[in-house]
Each structure stands twice: as structure tokens, then as C-alpha cells.
Structure 1
Amino acid sequence: MPVAVPLSVVIITYNEEANIGRCLEALHEVADEVVVVDSFSTDRTVDICRQHGARVIQHAFEGYVQQKNFATAQARHDYVLQLDADEVLTEELRQSIRAARHNWQGGGYTLARLTNYCGSWVRHGGWYPDRKLRLYDRRWGQWTGLLLHERYELQPNQPAPLPLAGDALHYSYHSVEQHVSQLNRFTSIAAEELRLRNKRRVTLYHLLLKPWWKFVHGYFLRLGFLDGFAGLCIAVISAWGVFLKFAKLKLRK
């Protein structure tokens, strides 16, 4: 069997004591090192990371894109797996990563995320498989984006990333209150991003029709109703988020 390419796992954190241990426990025999870039957490995050043998670097948070590019640069190896603290690799995905290390092709690989919402696994409504490019050769790309929706982007001359089998279990929201609280924060960021992009015109189309379409698209067309009450909560709150984003944009000076 070919020699495996050296692999670093990088994770950014801030007050993730409820999640980070579960994430790190699933990384045994996956990579050669784990690097955690922490934004000066005030809980036990750093202690838990060190207990699991991770190398911890403190760095002030400047934005998701900047933080993930900084974390990628701290890795000792060019081959990098980037994870969020609330993600856990399944055994099937771990095996896929090990196989990719022994037969690396192209600039990177995508992994599917299966989200747990308030105790329920969500497989519809556009939330699954939610593939992300997370395993990559850092010499051929970088994290891009403005304020939200950061993504890893390969250089144009690189082949399309290949999909990995298996899921990353994404433990997103533990309660509706947590979802609404984060939605309020993210819609403020999204409104500011639209303003920075000079997309400042807000009409009844944005305030009424786009939220309505968000609900219909997720709940009916993408079969969100098959996820039961969780699917209904996601569809309603997501539609409300669209309204909030444009309402905040309209009221910004």
C-alpha cells in the first residue's frame, strides 16, 4: 500500500467545551496532528483540547475566513482536514479519509454533513448532504468569502474535488432558543455583508415573497416535512431569518 500523505486537522474554537471533546475523540488514527486555534475562550475549551493532545494556539478572532486561513497556515503539513468543533467523524468517514491519504488525488475532497437539530437527525429540507470541501492540499487553494458563508476554494487549474463516503455528524442546535439567538446574530452579519456589497435596495419582494419562498422551498419542495417537527421549526425559522436580514438591511444607515 502507498505511504499515506501527512495530514493535519485544524479546528477553530471559542467557548466550545460542550462540543470539542466529542470532536477530538473521533480523530484518533485519522491524522498526524491536531491544531486548535482558539479565540481566547473563557470556558474549559483549551483545557479539554490539551487533554486530548491537541496543539493549541491563541489568536484573536478577525472573521471566519481570516481565522480559518490562519489556522490552515499553522498546520505542520500541507494536507489539511478542517473541522468545526461541533462536527464528529463517523467510522465510515474516517475510513474514507485514511483511504484518501494513501491514494491522494487532485486538490481536495468534500464530506457530507448530517445535522442533529434539537435531538433529531435532519435529512431533508436542503440540510443533507450539505457537502463541504474540508480535506484539501493547502498549496492549491484558500478560504474565501466576506463575512458569512466562508468556503474553501481551489485554484482554477485544479480538478473538481472528489466526494468522500461517510458523514460528519453536525451537532448544530440544542434548542429552538439557541437557533433563534444565533439567527439574530447571523442575520445582522448578513445584512452588513449585503450593505458592503452595495445590495441595499429592499422591497416588498424581499420582505414578503422571499421569506415565503424560503419556507415553501425548504418545507415542501425539499421535503422538509419528512423531518417532522424539526423540519417545521427549521423551515419557519429559516423563513423568518430571510425577513430579518432584509428588515435589518432596510433600517441600516
Structure 2
Amino acid sequence: MDQLSVVIITLNEERNIGRAIDSVMKVADEIIVLDSFSTDKTAEICKDKGVRFVQEQWHGYAKTKNLANSLSTHEWILSLDADEALDETLQQAVLEAKERGFKGVYIMNRLTNYCGSWIKHSSWYPDFKIRIFPKSKTSWEGEFVHEELNFTENLVENKLKGHLLHYSYYTYTEHRSRADKYSILTAQKLHASGKKVGLMKPYISAFGRFVTMYILKLGILDGWKGFKIAQISAASNILKYKELIRLNKENGN
């Protein structure tokens, strides 16, 4: 049987981290939490759970996740966000994969809880994420946001049964705030790559985003929550491209 290191990065995750840790107790041979100096009860909860708790300054998503992976003592890593948790079916699927011996990488289907409701459409579901992989053949890359897992060789992909439960946003205000944060980071990434857009791009993109999420991806079936997801996503698209235009003008582009 292969051994599995569960790796989680945190910053002020007291409302989520206990649930995340509890969900991997049955599958993990070690649990490592790399924390960026939380000021809430994250450290206390982690220490009570008996996990390995390390604190380090924030270096961005990719670099911080790579640092966390380097702390593991096993080759196979389950990378878990603090606001995620394995359901019972997924726990069993991971255990069965361990018994057989891990090969390649393993994909989990993430199901998001948004302000108390499970979202089954809105382009948020299905949402397949690679979460188990060999440390020696992978690394996280991405300077600004939306880090990606890169491989040093081709690895077979295996889908696991069950759901990776994602407790994303507890309020609409929280969603808007985080979406705007990611939009600013994405604009910086686009600017660094030399991307240029016209003055109408923010509005055309926002309209397309809303129609795609609410109509084409059946967000309407998610009710009011589906409407809010599409609305906030569209508004953040406006911000992203306005910020990109501002950065380009500021730098004479």
C-alpha cells in the first residue's frame, strides 16, 4: 500500500480547517498544514487535531503550495484547499486507490456549496480537479493567480468516485470581494503577458459571461443563487478588463 501525505495551505481558516482535516483522517498517513501566520484560531485547531503545523510567509499560491509539498515525507500527495472536504464515497475511493497502489494522477469532482446551497449548474459543476499526484513528477506554476499543476512527464488520469465538497462563499459580499481580488490579480497577469483589449471589452466580456453561466450553463436552475453567481462573475469581468486597460495606459501601452 502506498502512503499518502495530505497538504493544506491556510490563512485565517478557522471556520473550515477542522472539517477539512477530519475528512482526510482515514486516508492520510500524514497531514501537513502550511500556514501564513493566521491571526484567528487556525493554529489552535490544527494543533488540537494533531497535524504537522508549519508557519511561513506567503509567497503566492504556486510557490506556497510547492513549499508545502516539499515538507511531505511521502511521494504521493493529496493537495486539499482549506475550504474543501472529501465526502464518504470519495474517502473510500481514495482508500481503494491506495490499496491498489497509486499510478498517474487522480481527479476529483468538486461540488460547491454557495451561501448554503449546493450548486449543480452555473458552469461550477461538474468541476474536475487533480488532487492526488506524485511529488517528484509535478509542480505548481503560476505567478499571480489560478495556479496550475505541471507534469515532468505524461501521467495517466484517473477519476475517483464521490465528491470533493467545496464550502466556497458564506455570503454574497464575500463572493464579490474575493472575485474582485482574483480579477485584479488576473489583470496583472494579463498585463505582464502583454495582453491588450479595446474599451468595449469589459462590457462585451461581462455580457458573455452572464449569458454563458446563467443561460447556457443552466444557472437559472440554481435559482436566485445561480443569478447571483452569474451577476457577480459578470461584474468582476468588467473590473478585470478595466484594470487591464488602466495598467496598459499607466505603462504607456
TM-score, length of structure 2 as denominator length? 0.95
**1:9 counterpart SS class:** strand
In the other structure, the counterpart of 1:27 is 24
CA positional deviation for 1:89: 0.7
CA positional deviation for 1:187: 1.3
1:55-74 residue CA offsets vs partner (Å, 9 max, x unmatched): 01111111000000000110
In the other structure, the counterpart of 1:173 is 169
User: Are positions 1:18 and 2:15 aligned together?
Assistant: yes
How many Å separate the matches in 2 of 1:122 and 1:71? 30
How many Å separate the matches in 2 of 1:110 and 1:205? 38
User: Are positions 1:243 and 2:238 aligned together?
Assistant: yes
The one-letter code of the counterpart of 1:191 is: A
The one-letter code of the counterpart of 1:90 is: D
CA contact (8 A) 2:114 2:167 kept: yes
When structure 1 is superposed on structure 2, of 144-153 and 15-24 the one drifting more is: 144-153
CA positional deviation for 1:33: 0.5
CA contact (8 A) 2:183 2:239 kept: yes
CA contact (8 A) 1:140 1:158 kept: no
In the other structure, the counterpart of 2:67 is 70
1:85-127 residue CA offsets vs partner (Å, 9 max, x unmatched): 0001100000111111112353210111100000110010110
CA contact (8 A) 2:2 2:102 kept: no
User: Are positions 1:143 and 2:143 aligned together?
Assistant: no
How many Å separate the matches in 1 of 2:224 and 2:215? 14
CA positional deviation for 1:154: 2.1
Matches within 5 A, 1:166-245: 166-199=162-195, 201-245=196-240
Tell me the number of residue pairs that the alignment of Structure 1 and Structure 2 aligns.
248
**1:35 counterpart SS class:** strand
1:123-177 residue CA offsets vs partner (Å, 9 max, x unmatched): 101101211111011111111223111122222x323321111101100000001
In the other structure, the counterpart of 2:56 is 59
Question: RMSD value over aligned CA atoms?
Answer: 1.1
The one-letter code of the counterpart of 1:19 is: N
User: Are positions 1:132 and 2:132 aligned together?
Assistant: no
**2:92 counterpart SS class:** helix
CA positional deviation for 1:180: 1.0
CA contact (8 A) 1:107 1:154 kept: no
Gaps in structure 1 of 5+ consecutive residues: none
Q: Percent identity?
A: 41
The one-letter code of the counterpart of 1:184 is: D
CA contact (8 A) 1:116 1:170 kept: yes
Matches within 5 A, 1:75-90: 75-90=72-87
CA contact (8 A) 1:143 1:150 kept: yes
The one-letter code of the counterpart of 1:243 is: I
TM-score, length of structure 1 as denominator length? 0.95
The one-letter code of the counterpart of 1:250 is: I
CA contact (8 A) 2:112 2:168 kept: yes
